Amino acid sequence: MRVFITGGTGFIGRAVVEALTARGDQCVVLSRGGASVWPTLAVRMIQGDSAAGGPWQDDVGSCDAVINLAGEKIVDPPKRWTRGRKKLLWDSRVFTTGHVTAAIRRASTKPRVLLSGSAIGYYGNRGDDVVDESRPAGSDFLAKLATAWEHAALEAQDITRVTLLRTGIVLGAGGGALEPLLRLFRLGLGGPWGDGLQWWSWIHRADAVALMLFALDQGLPGPLNVTAPAPVTVNDFAAALGKAVHRPAVFRAPRFALELGLGEGASALLDLQRVVPKRALTEGFRFQYPEVPGALREIVGA
């Protein structure tokens, strides 16, 4: 299979490319710089800006599948959600996806499948409710962003299968949400944030990648929650991470401090969802890391 990938040099995208090439697939990766981050892999790199469109779109038609993972980081301290920042978050997802679907529509040979990034922020703040793929969208900024992101992807659904990857917090070594937390926890300065009762719907990067490839191969159109089957509260996550690095987890970051530092962006850490991967489980996907303690031990090498 020949796969066109946006966001392929990011934290999740790199692992997706490595998994695809390991099983013999060919990868065509779009990046602004155009330089390969895989010196030992035969990956075709294309230089271009996915949020702007351009000649790169012509390469979409030469591929069997498209995986669209491009997007600026939602939480990127110390960057606050200014009007300009929110526009960048929006454009890097919605505009990019629109250019991808436009390329699919105009291709003489259509890719058979589009896996397009989305986020569990789609559901909005749900408190303690257990959320599966059947739940409707929320109404806050992240929910509206995810809804527009998905709508842009669905512009291709009449000509190709579209899977919407509603992804939770992806945990892995060397990047993602865990990297800044690990630095604090290894110094003994880590702990929960807010009241700690909000839900942390996470997934190990290896399982996230495996589930994406499962969706690619099995034919799963529509929304797919890319989360582990056992979400935990922030209190429990902090305790598990402290145990994994053999440090106490007693320093709590209060809500007001996060809101002071991140502004509206603090909602991405405070107003969360208890998401379960009902569809993945129904389809028979088996998680390698279903529980957070085991996932964290593998990541930190404990």
The enclosing H or E element of 297 equals helix 292-300
| Residue 35 confidence (pLDDT) above 90 | no
For range 213-241, the mean pLDDT: 97
Q: Is residue 166 in a domain?
A: yes
| Sign of the dihedral defined by the CA atoms of residues 275, 280, 284, 290, in that order | negative
Query: Is residue 286 in some structural domain?
Result: no
Dihedral of alpha carbons 228, 229, 235, 239, sign: negative
Q: To 10 degrees, the CA torsion angle through 200, 205, 210, 215?
A: 50
Q: How many domains does the chain have?
A: 1
pLDDT at 17: 97
The arithmetic mean of pLDDT across residues 83-87, rounded, is: 94
Q: Scanning the structure block, which residue is given the tokens 């929006």?
A: 90
Taking the C-alpha atoms of residue 236 and residue 46, their distance in angstroms, rounded to an integer, is: 43
Q: From its phi and psi, is residue 188 left (phi > 0), alpha (psi between -120 and 50) or beta? A: left
CATH of the domain at 216: 3.40.50.720
pLDDT tier for residue 302 given thresholds of 50, 70 and 90: low
For residue range 272-294, list pLDDT tens digits in order.
Answer: 999 999 999 999 999 999 999 99
What value, to the nearest 5°, has the Cα angle with vertex 109 and ends 159 and 218?
Answer: 55
Could you tell me the two tokens for 184?
Answer: 């604090």
Each residue's pLDDT tens digit, 111-158: 999 999 999 999 999 999 999 999 999 999 999 999 999 999 999 999
Q: Which of 232, 179, 224 is nearest to 202 (CA)?
A: 232
- What would the pLDDT profile of 6-31 be if each residue is shown by its tens digit? 999 999 999 999 999 999 999 999 99
Domain that holds residue 31: 2-171+202-227
User: Is residue 187 one of the residues assigned to a domain?
Assistant: no
Q: Determine, yes or no, domain membership for 257.
A: no
Tell me, yes or no, whether 284 lies in a domain: no
Compute the average pLDDT of residues 34-49: 90
Q: What is the per-residue pLDDT for 279? A: 98
The mean of the pLDDT values for the chain is: 95
pLDDT digits over 182-219, tens only? 999 999 999 999 999 999 999 999 999 999 999 999 98
Output the pLDDT for position 60: 95
pLDDT in tens, 146-164: 999 999 999 999 999 999 9
Mean pLDDT score, 99-106: 96
Is 302 domain-assigned? no
Do the beta carbons of residue 142 and residue 136 sit within 8 Å?
no
What's the rounded mean pLDDT across residues 293-301? Answer: 95
In a domain, residue 300? The reply is no
Evaluate whether residue 222 is within a structural domain. yes
